[in-house]
Structure 1
Amino acid sequence: MKDIIVIKCGGSTISELSEAFFQSVVAMQKSGKHPIIVHGGGPAINQLLEKLDIQSEFVDGLRKTTADVLETAEMVLCGKVNKQIVTSLQQANGQAVGLSGCDGNLLQVQAINEEKLGYVGEPTNVNTELLISLMEKQMIPVIAPIGMNEHGTHYNVNADSAAGAIAKELGAEQLVFVTDVDGILKDGQCLEKVTADEIEAFIEDGTIYGGMLPKVRAALNALTETLQSVMIMNGKSTTVGQYGYVSGTTIVKSAVGQSVS
């Protein structure tokens, strides 16, 4: 299937996404594209953890996930946030279906480092047939990043990593990270375009840190011959439908004129 666009919506932006954003996603689909939304839900998870008095911490930009944190994250992501997005798309006259990575064995995962991170997994396989069958029926898949291993154990999956894996396995045309910052910042300025080598240097010197780390790593992992650039953009200032005009940072494999193989 061609013209697949994977849109990852960060949890910090979801509550501020406008009607125009959802209308642009529906318009994108009606024009012949095939959008998929993968979402986070960090702020909503934090609120419920605080209400339940459950401690949580981040390690290298990833939420350390105990059994209690996992249960809370699953409730928020698969329940509240997922259905909010599905509802908003349907109010924009689209047809959407909400899924978690456990449904239909959509996201098969393995633990990253249980001692260090607990129940945090990384995708090892994506059930692309399920997603393609939904898109062929003109449905917009909305995916909560909870995955499952071969033994049926559930894991919290970083939404950036989930989106990157889905884009790569589907051979997506575009991958867009919709977040609450303008892109990759250096000395207070948003970088318009960066290469894989530049990103490695920015990680090394501390320009890229915290929550931006999983985004850029997922972007680099997603780059293929089909998907040669990934955009990080601010969802509060624009709509996703205006691909030629959005501001943000575009990540590419290499500089113009160099091999991208």
Structure 2
Amino acid sequence: MKYIVIKCGGSVIDELTSPFFTSLSELQKQGYKLVFVHGGGPDINKMLDLFRVTPQFVNGLRKTDEQTLNIAEMILAGQTNRKLVAKLQQYHFPAFGLNGSDGSLLQANYINREQLGHVGKISKVNKEFLELVVNNHYIPVITPIGINTNGEKLNINADYAAAEVAKALQAEQCLFVTNVDGVFIEGSLSSSLSQQEVQTYIAKGEISGGMIPKVHSALNAVEEGVESVMIVSGKNTFFENGQWHGTRIYQGEPINRG
């Protein structure tokens, strides 16, 4: 079975447009099974602000005490997931919302409880559970909330969660959906960039601003064992006539572009 894992950040869900969903239909026609993983950072931060809780981050990971975990799960499962599922259903995709802790889907362990609180790293993805959903013709839409062997829920970085799901399913592609078409170098969309090229272009200032965390997230995924990650747009067509439109980030030697 051919899988595509699609990671949507919380900030891009409201910006998804009809051409994006047309590309999803094209992928399905090519025989791909779709699996979504999503974040919800902006919505979580708004709710934390209402509770007068200041967000804290350590090495890019959200420090998560018990109150923050409760708020994060409430927003991810009760708001952001519902929003993405509804959007997919609006375009006639049979979306099935899942909390990552349901059915021990995302099994996780604490990273560093003292430093980060209730933040986890995935130890195993319940592949059989996902296959059960997919084989019944649904599209899983997963929150990055994991669970450990003691039944404790853990907050997981959505990029890492998507990477682990892609690895478990041996997905042919892992997509990181953004609000731009991909990475532009010298004014032109780059179809692919090696890990080494990404670091070089960041140092030169060719990759800058909001694109830096996007490519870092893609690099983290390939370092976690995903063969490559495509940075694609949620606003435009990213797959048409069997061709990808976006930037592929991969490990290995740069392609000779001469």
TM range (shorter): 0.7 to 0.9
CA positional deviation for 1:142: 0.4
- For 1:1-261, list aligned pairs within 5 A: 2-183=1-182, 191-198=190-197, 210=213, 212-223=215-226, 228-236=227-235, 238-242=236-240, 244-247=243-246, 249-255=247-253
Q: Which runs of 5+ in 1 are unaligned?
A: none
Q: Given the superposition, is the C-alpha separation of residues 63 and 183 from structure 1 closer, same or farther in structure 2, using an over 3 Å criterion? A: farther
Q: How well do the aligned residues superpose, as a CA RMSD in angstroms?
A: 2.7
Comparing 162-171 with 204-213, greater Cα deviation is found at 204-213
Letter in 2 for 1:93: H
Q: Given the superposition, is the C-alpha separation of residues 181 and 202 from structure 1 closer, same or farther in structure 2, using an over 3 Å criterion? A: same
Letter in 2 for 1:167: A
Tell me how far apart the structure 1 counterparts of residues 137 and 29 of structure 2 sit (CA, whole Å): 9
Q: Given the superposition, is the C-alpha separation of residues 184 and 166 from structure 1 closer, same or farther in structure 2, using an over 3 Å criterion? A: same
TM-score (normalizing by structure 2): 0.85
Comparing 67-76 with 112-121, greater Cα deviation is found at 112-121
Tell me how far apart the structure 2 counterparts of residues 31 and 182 of structure 1 sit (CA, whole Å): 21
Contact 1:61–1:213 (Cα < 8 Å) also in 2: no
Tell me how far apart the structure 2 counterparts of residues 257 and 216 of structure 1 sit (CA, whole Å): 17
Letter in 2 for 1:217: N
Comparing 8-17 with 55-64, greater Cα deviation is found at 55-64
> What whole-Å deviation, never above 9, does each CA across 1:75-107 have from its counterpart, x for those lacking one?
111111111111121121121110011011000
Q: Given the superposition, is the C-alpha separation of residues 10 and 251 from structure 1 closer, same or farther in structure 2, using an over 3 Å criterion? A: same
Letter in 2 for 1:157: I
Letter in 1 for 2:7: K
TM-score (normalizing by structure 1): 0.84
> What whole-Å deviation, never above 9, does each CA across 1:117-149 have from its counterpart, x for those lacking one?
221111110000111111111110000110011
Tell me how far apart the structure 1 counterparts of residues 119 and 225 of structure 2 sit (CA, whole Å): 19
Q: Given the superposition, is the C-alpha separation of residues 240 and 79 from structure 1 closer, same or farther in structure 2, using an over 3 Å criterion? A: farther
Comparing 96-105 with 196-205, greater Cα deviation is found at 196-205
CA positional deviation for 1:13: 0.6
Tell me how far apart the structure 1 counterparts of residues 81 and 100 of structure 2 sit (CA, whole Å): 12
Contact 2:219–2:250 (Cα < 8 Å) also in 1: no
Tell me how far apart the structure 2 counterparts of residues 108 and 203 of structure 1 sit (CA, whole Å): 34
Percent of residue pairs identical: 42
Tell me how far apart the structure 2 counterparts of residues 219 and 108 of structure 1 sit (CA, whole Å): 20
Q: Given the superposition, is the C-alpha separation of residues 73 and 202 from structure 1 closer, same or farther in structure 2, using an over 3 Å criterion? A: farther
Tell me how far apart the structure 2 counterparts of residues 148 and 82 of structure 1 sit (CA, whole Å): 18
CA positional deviation for 1:256: 6.4
Q: Given the superposition, is the C-alpha separation of residues 74 and 92 from structure 1 closer, same or farther in structure 2, using an over 3 Å criterion? A: same
Find the residue that maps to 2:232 and give its secondary structure: strand
Tell me how far apart the structure 1 counterparts of residues 213 and 58 of structure 2 sit (CA, whole Å): 9
CA positional deviation for 1:61: 1.9
Q: Given the superposition, is the C-alpha separation of residues 241 and 189 from structure 1 closer, same or farther in structure 2, using an over 3 Å criterion? A: closer
